[in-house]
Amino acid sequence: MQDAFECSGATMQTVIETATGYMIRCKACNWHEFPKAGKPGASWSFNGDVHRPTFSPSMNELLNGEGPHHNADLPTRRCHFIVSDGQIQYCGDCTHELRGQTMPLDAWTDAQLAQHGVTAALADTADKPNEGG
């Protein structure tokens, strides 16, 4: 179980570390997870700052694409974005209404953090870069 940073009683954490990666909130798609290095196909780096994260390179996800989880009743969507210094920049090839916009990442709510097993206070790790491994 990991901890969350709290400021004046409000959780300010924008990244959740899971066993397999790092989750961020997305206003268009709910959430995305950057796989940790060492996981097959993973090539993202993370600056280790859960308050003002930077991931590199961009994430380009096709949601409800071909495959075993495809749902013919739902549309296929693309969400392509860059996360830099706590901002999410939606690229022009997104198929949702936020394409071309840049905005601050939303912090996880206490209820969302609890749902993912995150509690208490996480020390700021910005001075300890994490290559995801």
Of the listed ranges 13-17, 18-22, 95-99, the one predicted with least confidence: 18-22
DSSP codes, 89-123: EE-TT-SSTTTT-EEEPPPPPHHHHHHTTEES-PP
Of residues 40, 1, 42, the one with CA closest to residue 132: 42
User: What is the tens place of the pLDDT at every residue in 44-74?
Assistant: 889 999 899 999 999 998 887 777 777 888 8
Tokens of 77: 């969507």
CA 46 to chain CA centroid, Å, is 11
User: What is the tens place of the pLDDT at every residue in 69-118?
Assistant: 778 888 888 999 999 999 999 999 999 999 999 999 999 888 888 887 77
Give the span between the Cα atoms of 125 and 81, in whole angstroms: 23
